[in-house]
């Protein structure tokens, strides 16, 4: 029997939250966790695990690796699926989604800072318990807790 997928966030009554498939990764190096500080032109800053939307024809693992590279300049590969989690989310532009997330344990293969294209994302490395405190979305906290317990 498959485990139930937890739902995080609170939808605003009467508003639509279309499903959006997403993939994120938990990568560790020298005891520190990769996070991205996101400071969008519209909306408040937040701290996330690297990752984002899954494009048509792309697997969740491929999307996680692509988004990781675009946001952080790190080349990673998915080692294992950790958890799935859904999250009602509104971005800085007022777009609302129910993100249907797949979270992976990721392995850092190399650094390619020239491949980073997301100017509003900044890579930061933090100790796991500090990362738990800093992460903006409960679904990302859930994934990191599951990574810590493996």
DSSP-assigned letters across all residues of 87-103 = EEEE-TTS-EEEEEEEE
Going by C-alpha positions, the residue among 23, 2, 8 that lies closest to residue 106 is 23
Q: Which CATH superfamily is domain 17-148 in?
A: Nucleoside Triphosphate Pyrophosphohydrolase (3.90.79.10)
> Which pLDDT score, from 0 to 100, does residue 1 have?
54
- CA 5 to chain centroid, in Å, comes to 16
One digit per residue, pLDDT tens: the chain, 150 residues?
A: 567 999 999 999 999 999 999 999 999 999 999 999 999 888 899 999 999 999 999 999 999 999 999 999 999 999 999 999 999 999 888 899 999 999 999 999 999 999 999 999 999 999 999 999 999 999 999 999 999 998
- Put simply, whether the predicted model's pTM sits higher than 0.85 gets the answer yes
> Which pLDDT score, from 0 to 100, does residue 68 have?
98
Domain residues of the chain, as ranges?
17-148
Tell me phi and psi for residue 31, to 5 degrees.
80, 5
> Which pLDDT score, from 0 to 100, does residue 22 have?
99
> Which pLDDT score, from 0 to 100, does residue 57 have?
98
């Amino acid at each position: 029997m498959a485990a139930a997928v937890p739902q995080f966030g609170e939808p605003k009554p009467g508003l639509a939250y279309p499903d959006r498939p997403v993939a994120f990764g938990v990568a560790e190096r020298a005891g520190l966790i990769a996070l991205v500080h996101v400071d969008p032109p519209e909306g408040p800053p937040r701290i996330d695990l690297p990752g984002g939307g899954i494009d048509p024809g792309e697997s969740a693992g491929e999307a996680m690796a692509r988004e990781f590279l675009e946001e952080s300049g790190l080349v990673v590969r998915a080692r294992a699926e950790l958890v799935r989690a859904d999250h009602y989310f509104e971005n800085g532009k007022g777009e609302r989604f129910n993100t249907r997330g797949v979270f992976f344990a990721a392995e850092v293969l190399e650094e390619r800072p020239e491949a980073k294209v997301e100017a509003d994302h900044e890579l930061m490395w933090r100790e796991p318990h500090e990362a738990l405190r800093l992460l903006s979305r409960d679904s990302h906290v859930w994934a990191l807790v599951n990574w810590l317990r493996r």
